[in-house]
Amino acid sequence: MANPNDNVVNYRLQKLAEDIDGVSAQLKTLSPADIPRLAERIFVNVFLPLFAGDETLIYDATFNTWVSFAGSPYTDVHVVDTKNNILFTVPPLLDRSAINPVNRLSVSIAHVVTTAGQFARIHPTQGSVYLHNELSKRAIVMKVPANILNNLEIWNNIFKRYGRPEIMTIEEKVASEIPKINPDDEFEPL
């Protein structure tokens, strides 16, 4: 006999998938004009010393200050000249493409956390093991290195532009193998 709760769960999963698709579609419609812009002189004097790890900062800027300006740690920021022309784009502090939060074949993070809590009531180790296993399934190992190397290359170019030492040298062989990320590429919806 079918459990009537299965219909409710299936409906909720379908509704969640539709909501995720809707948000994903809205995010794709963001234009480059929606990306925050920061004057070059402010970037150079306030934020570059922070990103470069200078021991003494003239201004009391923190990474929270940057996130407050960007709107999110997942947001790019355009650095512009005095005529509002984009000079370069600072990559986001955090990269969402390293995580595969939900796909239609897996359960939601909320379900995983709830289930882990239930297992933990039986035995704490069971909850921890379940949570670890479910979250580790969501890691996308293949995309992370390319994204990290692309962002590293961007940061190295920004640092070179202002006479700062590179964060880390990328060997030419490795650099030639870095797939360029196209912002129009499709990623799994968040």
Write out pLDDT tens, residues 160-170.
Answer: 999 998 887 77
Helices (H) and strands (E) in the chain, counts: 8, 3
Predicted pLDDT at 48: 92
Question: Which phi and psi (to 5°) does residue 90 adopt?
Answer: -80, 125
The three-point CA angle 87-93-97 to 5° equals: 105
The two tokens of residue 183 are 């912002």
Above 70 in pLDDT, residue 93? yes
The sheet that has 77-80: what strands, in order across it?
37-39, 77-80, 86-90
Reported as a pLDDT band with limits 50, 70 and 90, residue 144 is very low
User: SS3 for 77-110, per residue?
Assistant: EEEECCCCCEEEEECCCCCHHHECCCCCCCCCHH
Answer yes or no: is pLDDT of 65 > 80: yes
What does the alpha-carbon distance between residue 18 and residue 15 come to, in Å, rounded to a whole number?
Answer: 5
Provide the pLDDT confidence category of residue 21 given band limits of 50, 70 and 90. Answer: low
pTM (predicted TM-score): 0.53
